[in-house]
Amino acid sequence: MSLRNLHEAQERSRRILLLVLAAMLSVSSFLALAVGPVPIGAGDIWAALWPSEDLSRDAQIVQQIRLPRLILGLCVGAVLGVCGAALQGLFRNPLADPGIIGVSSGAALAAGLVIVTGNTFASGFMEWAGNYALPLGAFAGSMIAIVSIYALSQRAGTTSGASLILAGIAINAMAGAALGYLTFLSSDNQLRQLTFWTLGSLGRITWDSLVPVAVLMTIAVALTLRKAAALNTYLLGEREAGHLGLNVERMKKTLIVLGALGVGSAVAVSGIIGFVGLAAPHIIRLFAGADHRIVLPGSALLGALLVMCADLIARTAAAPAELPIGVLTSALGGPFFLWLLGRYRRELF
Amino acid sequence: MALELKDVSVVAGRKALIEGVSLSVHPGKLTVILGANGAGKSTALSVLAGDSVSAKGEARLDGVPLSSLSPQALAERRAVVLQHAPINFAFKVHEIVSLSRPALRSESNRTYAIEERALHELDLAELAGRSYPTLSGGERQRVQIARALAQLWHHEETGQSSYLLLDEPTAHLDLKHQFVALEAARRFAQQNGGVLCILHDLTLAREFADEIILMRNGNIAAKGGAASILTADTIAEIYDLPAHRAENLALSLSAPMLQ
C-alpha cells in the first residue's frame, strides 16, 4: 500500500470522526437549550438566539439562563479537552490530566484565595481587575502548578510517569489542605462559593461573567490548536525534536502558558471538572491515532460534548435539585483512569 | 567541506567527558567511532549534532559555527539518530517518518516518494501502516534511521552537503538488518553525504568504515583506515583486553569475510 493511500484513508476516517462529533454536538446543544424544568420548543429557542425586546417567558429562560450555560459548557469542555491533550504531549505521558496532576487544584486554590482574602489583602487588584480577578488568579495558580510539576517530573530530559503522578498527588494534597483551611476561615457566603469551586458547576453563569473567560478560553484553544504539528515532532523526544528543527524551549513555554491560561479560566468559572482532559484525548486516539492534527480538534469537540452531556445529566437526573458536574465527571472518569493505568502500567512505570 | 570539531571539551560536574577532541566528517565518507563505554563517543556526537551548549572549542558545519545556525537551518543539513527513546503514543510508522518533513511542507508526490524511499531503504515497506509502539526494538531503530534519512532527502534539491549522525544504529538489530542499516548509511555517503556512526562491532566497522576513530577516556587515541587501526595492540589498549583475546580478534578481522 502506498503512503498516499495510507494517508488518504486516514484523512477520510478523520474527517468522518470530526463530522460525527460535530453532529452529536449540535444535537446535544439543542437538547441543552430545550430540556430542563421547563421544556422549551424549537420556536422559542430560535427566537431567543436573536436580540429582541419582547421575548416570551420561555425564550427569556433560554436567552438568560440556558444559552450562557450552553456556551460556557462548550468553552470549558473544549478547553479541558485541548489542554488535556496538550499537557499529555508536553509531559510526553498519556496519563496527564489537569485534574490528576494538580493544575486544576492549583487554579482552584488561587481562585479560593481571591474569593476569601482578595478584598482584605488586595483590594486594589480586585478593583483594577474586576471580572478578570478570578480568571487571573486562577491563571496564576495553574501556572505555578504546571511549572512546579514540570520541574519535579523531569529526569534527564524525559518525563517519569511515576514522578509526574506523585507530584500531582502532592500538589493536590497541598492545594486541598489550603482550600480546607480557607473553608475553615470563610464566611457562610464565601463557603458556598468555595464548595462550588471544589465540586464544579456550570450553573449561575451570567452573560457578564461569561464574556471575559469565554474570550480567554477561545484564545487558549485557538493558539493550542496551532501547535499540533510541533507537538507531533516533540513526542519523538526533546533532543530528537530539536534535531528536526523545532525550537523546543520556546514550544514548551508556549504550551505551559496556554495550558495555564485555558485550565485557569475554565476553573475560574466552572470549578474543577475532572477527567474530561483525560478521557477526550484518549477516546480520540483510540479512533483516529496519535496525530495531534486530529487529536487536538477532536478533543475540543469531544470535550465539549462530554461536558454538555454531563451537565445535562447533572441538571435533570435529580431535578429540581442539581448535581455538581465535577462529582459526575469524577464518578465516571475515575474508573476510566484505573483502566488506563492498567493499560499503560508496563510502559510508563 | 566537513562537519567538524576543533579542540572541543565538555565537562559535566568535575569530570571531563571529552577533552580537546578534533575530528571531521567528510561528505562521501562513512566514519566510524569505536571505543569502550564512557569513552566520550556519544558526547562527541552530541556536540557535532549541535546539542551541547556547554562545550568549549568549536563545532563547525562547512566552516560555519553550529551555534550561529538556527535549529531549522541545522535540520536541513544534518540528521541524528540517538539511542532508543521511548514513544508512548500510538503513531503509525509512516507518521513517524513523515515527521522528518520541514515545518509547513505538506503532503505531495515528492514528499511521499522520499518517505517511501526511506522506508524501502530500511526494509520497512511492509511495516508502514503498523503502530510504532507495537514494533520490536530493532524495528523501531530502523524507523528512526529511515526518519533521519528522509529528513535530509527532503532538502536534497538544495545540493548542499548533508550529514548523518548515528549513535549505535545497529544496537537492537538482527544480523540481516545490521547490514541493511549500514548499507543504507554507506549508500547515503556514496551520494556525497557525510556519515558518522558509533559502533561496537569491529567486524562491521572493518566492513563499512572509510575511516575509523578510536576514542579512549575522552580523547582520540587513533585515526585511520581499518587495516592500520584494527591491530591487536590498539584493540588491547582501547578495550582494555588481555593480549591473547585482542590477538584472536585482530586475527579474525584480518581473515577474509564470508560473503
pLDDT one-digit tens code per residue, A238-270? 889 999 999 988 898 898 889 888 988 898 888
Find the CATH number of the domain harbouring B102. 3.40.50.300
The length of chain A in residues reads 349
Q: In the 3-class helix/strand/coil scheme, how is B119-171 assigned residue by residue?
A: HHHCCCHHHCCCEHHHCCHHHHHHHHHHHHHHHHHCCHHHCCCCEEEEECCCC
Any A CB within 8 A of B125 CB:
no
User: B11 vs chain A: nearest CA distance in angstroms?
Assistant: 16
* Closest residue, chain A, to B100 (C-alpha): A244
Of the candidates B82, B102, B109, the beta carbon closest to that of A239 is on B82
CA atoms within 13 A on the CB side of B32: 27
Q: Which residues of A touch B86 (CB under 8 A)?
A: 347
Q: Is B234 left (phi over 0), alpha (psi -120 to 50) or beta?
A: alpha
Q: Is residue B259 part of a domain?
A: no
Whether B17 is covered by a domain: the verdict is yes
- A246 min Cα distance to partner chain B (Å): 6
What's the burial of A128, exposed, middle or buried (CB within 10 Å: 0-12/13-18/19+)?
exposed
Nearest chain B residue (CA) to A91: B88
Within 8 A of B102 by CB-CB distance, chain A residues are: 245
By Cβ distance, the residue of B86, B100, B107 closest to A244 is B100
As for how many domains chain B has, the answer is 1
* Inter-chain CB proximity A348 and B49 less than 8 Å: no
Q: How do residues A222-233 score in pLDDT, each as one tens digit?
A: 999 999 999 999
* Helix A103-121 vs helix A248-270: crossing angle, to nearest 10: 60
Contact list, A285 vs chain B (CB under 8 Å):
89-90
Beta-carbon-side half-sphere exposure of residue B259 (alpha carbons within 13 Å): 1
Nearest CA in chain A to B109: A4
B149 domain-assigned: yes
- The minimal CB distance from A243 to the residues B49, B109, B129 is found for B49
Nearest Cα to B197, choosing from B58, B25, B59? B25
Residues of A within 8 A of B76 (CB-CB) are: 245
pLDDT (0 to 100) of residue B37 = 93
A293 pLDDT more than 50:
yes
Distance between CA atoms of residues A70 and A76, nearest Å? 10
This prediction has a pTM of 0.88
Q: Look at the block and give the residue holding cell 489542554.
A: A83
Q: Measured between alpha carbons, how far is A266 from A279 in angstroms, rounded to an integer? A: 17
B88 and A6 within 8 Å at the Cβ level: the answer is no
Alpha helix locations (H) across chain B? 41-49, 71-77, 93-98, 109-121, 137-153, 175-190, 202-208, 226-229, 232-239, 243-254
**Counting Cβ atoms within 10 Å, is residue A71 exposed (0-12), middle (13-18) or buried (19+)?**
middle
At residue A284, the pLDDT reads: 93
* Measured distance CA(B29)–CA(A25) in Å, rounded: 58
CA nearest to B184, candidates B168, B199, B164, B213: B164
Query: Would you state the pLDDT for residue B259?
Result: 43
DSSP notation for A37-76? SS---HHHHHHHTS--SS--HHHHHIIIIIHHHHHHHHHH
Does the residue B132 lie in any domain? yes
Provide the grid cell at B220.
582520540
Q: What percent of chain A has pLDDT over 90?
A: 31
Q: Among A59, A63, A39, which Cα is nearest to A205's?
A: A63
- Asked if A244 and B90 come within 8 Å (Cβ–Cβ), the reply is no
Which stretch of A48-52, A84-88, A106-110, A282-286 has the lowest confidence by average pLDDT? A48-52
pLDDT < 70: residue spans in chain B: 53, 255-259
- Please, which pLDDT band fits residue A160 given cuts at 50, 70 and 90? low
- List, for residues B8-27, the tens digit of each pLDDT value: 999 988 888 999 999 999 99
Tell me, yes or no, whether B123 lies in a domain: yes
Shortest alpha-carbon distance between residue B252 and chain A (Å): 37
Q: In this complex, do A4 and B112 lie within 8 Å of one another by their Cβ atoms?
A: yes
List Cα–Cα distances, B133 to A158, B92, B103, B136, B141, in angstroms.
Answer: 17, 9, 24, 8, 12
Return the residue of A nearest to B94 by Cα: A3
Of B51, B81, B74, B94, residue with least CA distance to B155: B74
Domain A69-348 has CATH 3.30.70.20: no
Taking an 8 Å cut-off on Cβ atoms, the answer to whether A243 and B129 are in contact is: no
* CA–CA min distance B160, chain A (Å): 17
Residue of B89, B90, B103 lying closest to A229 (CB–CB): B103
If residue B4 lies in a helix (H) or strand (E), which one and from where to where?
A: strand B3-12
Q: Is the pLDDT of residue A48 over 70?
A: yes
Average pLDDT over residues A309-330: 87
Q: Are B223 and B211 in contact (CB under 8 A)?
A: yes
Contact yes or no for A3 and B85 at CB 8 A: no
Indicate the domain borders of chain A. Answer: 69-348
Collect all residues with Cβ–Cβ distance below 8 Å to A328 and sequence separation of at least 6: A310, A313, A314
CA separation for the pair A154, A91 (Å, rounded) = 9
Q: What is the pLDDT of residue A156?
A: 55
Cell of B159: 545540493
Domain containing B7: what range?
3-254
Q: What confidence tier does A168 reach under pLDDT thresholds 50, 70, 90? A: confident
Considering only the beta carbons, identify the residue of B46, B88, B99 that sits closest to A232. B99
CA B230 to the chain's CA centroid? 20
Lowest mean pLDDT among A9-18, A184-193, B203-212, B241-250: A184-193
Query: Which residue in A232, A245, A344 is closest to B72 by CB distance?
Result: A245
- In this prediction, residue A217 has a pLDDT band, given cuts at 50, 70 and 90, of very high
